[in-house]
Amino acid sequence: MPASRPKKPGDPLHPRASGPLRSFGRIKSRTIKPLQAALFGTLLPTIAVPDPKAGPVDPRLLMPEATEAWLEIGFGGGEHLAEQAAKNPNAVMIGCEPFLNGVASVLRHIDDRGLKNVRIHADDGRDVLNAIPDASLDRVMILFPDPWHKVRHNKRRLLNEETAAQIARVLKPGGRLRFVTDWKDYAGWALERLNRTPDLVWLANEADDWRIAPADHVVTRYEEKKLGDTAPLFLEFERA
């Protein structure tokens, strides 16, 4: 059996790579369709979030007329982000996704539906999260993040102590976090870290509160594939 390719120091999966561990896998798969590819040059520049590594990302400047600001980290194919944007036109919807096919998909949704309240960061959502000022967001949504379910890969999970603390920091008092996963171990992992994060309060009182989807949940194609080891588990937290 041939030896596996050695990881170089510049490789995001190399143990000595600089910066935070990458919480996502590949960034592109199949060829992007021409019409979607064209939107990268026409639509995306008009709705792109300013470079979060260059300075703060203030939601109030992204859409001054907005009455709320929501952030979705890892929007996948964008069906959920687009539907929430359509249902909540007064909220600026900040969506982050490094997977280029997902970005192509959401651009098509935005263009087809004429959505004016979506802003996109086509890269790691943690950069935007870190750049948002304190108490700026009404909602944060993390739906079906990569589970990294092998124990040796758990450290790559998006939801960790640092991310939980940043979420608590950027949420307004009364703001909500929704974390959804279809892996039991990840749900337990997330619950443990969120429960010990100051100022985040779990809203569940009984099992149905995490087993039954909230009324405004949008089912996506990914969810319908049922790739995890459990039905979706919904963890809702509020900023005290």
Residue 94: which of 53, 41, 131 has the closest Cα? 131
Q: Tell me: the pLDDT tens digits for 7-43?
A: 333 333 333 334 455 544 445 557 898 999 999 999 9
pLDDT at 13 (0 to 100): 33
Q: Calculate mean pLDDT across residues 113-141.
A: 98
pLDDT at 150 (0 to 100): 77
- Please give the Cα distance from 115 to 188 (Å, whole number): 36
Please report whether residue 98 resides in a domain.
Answer: yes
Please report whether residue 104 resides in a domain.
Answer: yes
Q: Calculate mean pLDDT across residues 168-176.
A: 98
Amino acid at 147: P
Domain containing residue 230: CATH number: 3.40.50.150
Q: Rounded mean pLDDT of the chain? A: 89
- Please give the Cα distance from 71 to 74 (Å, whole number): 10
Q: How many other CB atoms sit within 10 Å of the CB of residue 4?
A: 6
Please report whether residue 151 resides in a domain.
Answer: yes
Which residues in 195-214 are b (16+ Cβ under 10 Å) and which e?
Answer: eebeebeeeeeeeeebeeee
Please report whether residue 95 resides in a domain.
Answer: yes
φ, ψ (nearest 5 deg) of residue 140: -125, 135
Please report whether residue 27 resides in a domain.
Answer: no
Q: In Å, how far are 4, 5, 103 from 1, measured between CA atoms?
A: 9, 12, 37
Residue 126, judged by CB atoms within 10 A of its CB (0-12, 13-18, 19+), counts as buried
* φ/ψ bin of 16: left (φ > 0), alpha (ψ from -120 to 50), beta (otherwise): alpha
To 5 degrees, how large is the angle CA 125–CA 80–CA 183? Answer: 70
For the question of residue 199 being annotated catalytic, the response is: no
pTM of the model: 0.87
DSSP string of 195-237, one letter each residue? HTSTTEEE---STHHHHSPPTT----HHHHH--SSSS-EEEEE
Domain that holds residue 95: 34-239
How many domains does the structure of the chain reveal?
Answer: 1
Q: How far is CA 59 from the centre of its chain?
A: 16
Choose the catalytic residue: 111, 127, 146, 185: 146
Q: Calculate mean pLDDT across residues 162-167.
A: 98
Please report whether residue 20 resides in a domain.
Answer: no
Please report whether residue 203 resides in a domain.
Answer: yes
Q: Tell me: the pLDDT tens digits for 29-79?
A: 578 989 999 999 999 999 999 999 999 999 999 999 999 999 999 999 999
Residue 185: band (very low, low, confident or very high) from pLDDT cuts 50, 70, 90: very high
pLDDT at 10 (0 to 100): 36
Place of tokens 């459990």: 230
Please report whether residue 19 resides in a domain.
Answer: no
